[in-house]
Structure 1
Amino acid sequence: MKTITDRHQFILKKLQEKGKVSIPQLVDEMQVSGVTIRKDLKLLEEKKLLFRTRGGGSVDNPYAIERPINEKEFIRADEKKKIAAAALGLIGQNDSIIIGSGTTVFEVARQLHPEKRIVVITPALKVSLELCNRPNVEVLQLGGLVHQSSSSAAGSFAEKILDELSCGVLFIGVDGIDLEHGLSITNIMEASLNQKMIGLAQTVVVLADSSKFDRRGLGKICNLDQIDYIITDSDVSREVVNKIEKAGVRVIIAE
């Protein structure tokens, strides 16, 4: 496969069939060097025919786009409700939890009606407003600069409060889950706050619908080995689930 046209047609055909390609796979099948494949992928991306990814290419944009919380609330709303319902079962006998920012974890607050007293620590204003008059719930609102698109506080003030705290379960939302890159979101300051929250929680639970897999946000939160559970919906591929569970993370499919 010597001509650039033949190579590009072959790559685009593979993308049409599978949705993504890897450089090692293309090297084996096309019998050309990895350098040549990388140049081909770069040219095809410049023509807006694919998105380059780590180690290959994809028809889908692997980078998460920051959207306002009132817009994200209506995206995959049914899946988010099911994921949140499954998450409630992980609270157990804990008397303190953290609910992070994002529309999926907000559903946890919306569905939380504990029979016993519980303290909810949160940076998210929507979570606090939802729970502030809920029976058996005390809210500890983290302070700091409120990020406009998420209506959530972040920064040094919020992180300083966390220095004095610990909790049983942390529920966080993410914008991207990547097997190599780990977990990430689109806002750097909130990524730093999430890192801090992970450090003080006994159990870390990530709530993410299937659209968040194989994507990356600007701010990395952590690697997969730093979390305990991922709760997602039934559209996630079994191959991805198996790889994540091999990394030691339990995946719960919300039905």
Structure 2
Amino acid sequence: MKVKRINQIEDFIKEKKEASLEELKEHFNVSLNTIRRDVNELVKMETVRKVYGGVVYNKDGETTAYEDRNISHLDEKRRIGVYCSRYIEANDIVFIDSGTTTHYVLDDVDRNLSFTLITNSLEVINKAVAFPNVALLIVGDTYKRSTKSFTGISENHTIHKFNINKAFMSATAFSITNGASNTDILENKTKSVVCKRADEVYLLVDASKFGKTSLYTYCNLESIKTIVTDDSIKQDYRTQLEKSKTKVITL
């Protein structure tokens, strides 16, 4: 309920460009303290910024449209995703993250292969329906249009109990110090839980993501088994990664 309300508040402020706390309180029929807490979550996500008595929509912090991000570095993303298809084996329990690279993982998987697929990505769900022997599990209870993903997991959600063999993860940014990170606190929670439950974490990122840090870290370098990226990664960064236990594959 909280996740859904926060998304509705974000949409409300985006449409109106600005809103007072009192206006939000009345519109969503909750207490002022609840509105303040929800607004603070949006401030952390850089979606809105506070002004005296209310909030304004933060256009500068608006997430780039999914379609625009999908086009950016398209060839590299497709190569990375398709390469990772080889890691999915019969009877695996696999998580495929939302993102503009990860959905390509299914493109070269045997359509008749039997495995369990867990995902929060609408793109992955749409592709998975063509696999007759795949057991498909969807996590997240609220759809987020800007990322074509489902967000929001409660403490008693079954994902906390899933035994995942392999997790194929996306990231907004990656650095040696801060690991894999993203900007959305709700997506971050799902990513963090998945990485803790997975035996093997594969990070699928094009080279433009390296040497950067986003707002929330969900997985440190030492917890990542393999990073799959493109060959435009800078040599000094590749050298630093080679000093770690994480395998780095460049395509």
Q: Which residue of 2 aligns with 1:198?
A: 195
Tell me which moved more, 219-228 or 92-101.
Answer: 92-101
Question: After superposition, where does 1:1-255 map in structure 2 within 5 Å?
Answer: 66-157=63-154, 160-254=157-251
Q: Distance in 2 between matches of 1:92 and 1:133?
A: 17
Query: Aligned AA for 1:245?
Result: E
- Deviation per residue, 1:2-41 (Å, 9 max, x gap): xxxxxxxxxxxxxxxxxxxxxxxxxxxxxxxxxxxxxxxx
Amino acid at match of 1:132: V
Structure 2, gaps ≥5 residues long: 1-60
Distance 1:114 1:158, change over 3 A: farther
Contact 1:170–1:198 under 8 Å retained in 2: yes
For 2:201 and 2:156, the matched residues in 1 are separated by 17
The count of corresponding residues between Structure 1 and Structure 2 is 191
1:197 aligned counterpart, secondary structure = helix
Taking only the aligned residue pairs, the percentage that are identical comes to 26
1:181-224 superposed Cα distances (whole Å, 9 cap, x missing partner)? 21101211111110100011110000000000011222211211
Cα RMSD between the aligned structures? 2.0
**Structure 1 residues 148 and 251, CA gap change in structure 2 (3 angstroms):** same
Q: Which runs of 4+ in 1 moved over 4 A?
A: none
Aligned partners of 1:97 and 1:169 also within 8 Å? yes
Q: Is the 8 A contact 1:205 1:229 kept in 2?
A: yes
1:135 counterpart letter in structure 2: P
TM-score normalised by structure 1 residue count = 0.70
In structure 1, what is the Cα distance between the partners aligned to 2:118 and 2:225? 19
Letter in 2 for 1:237: K
TM-score between both structures, scaled by the size of structure 2 = 0.71
Mind listing any 5+ residue stretches in structure 1 that lack a counterpart? 1-63
Letter in structure 2 aligned against 1:105: T
Q: CA shift at 1:73, angstroms?
A: 1.1
Q: Retained in 2: the 8 A contact 1:99–1:109?
A: no
Could you say what secondary structure the match of 1:82 adopts? Answer: helix
Deviation (angstroms), 1:65: 7.5
Q: Distance in 1 between matches of 2:131 and 2:153?
A: 29
- The residue type paired with residue 110 of structure 2 is H
Q: CA deviation at 1:140?
A: 0.8
- Decide whether the 8 Å contact of 1:195 with 1:222 is kept in 2: yes
Alignment partner, residue 47 of structure 1: none
Query: Hey, what's the Cα distance between the residues in 2 that align with 1:182 and 1:78?
Result: 24
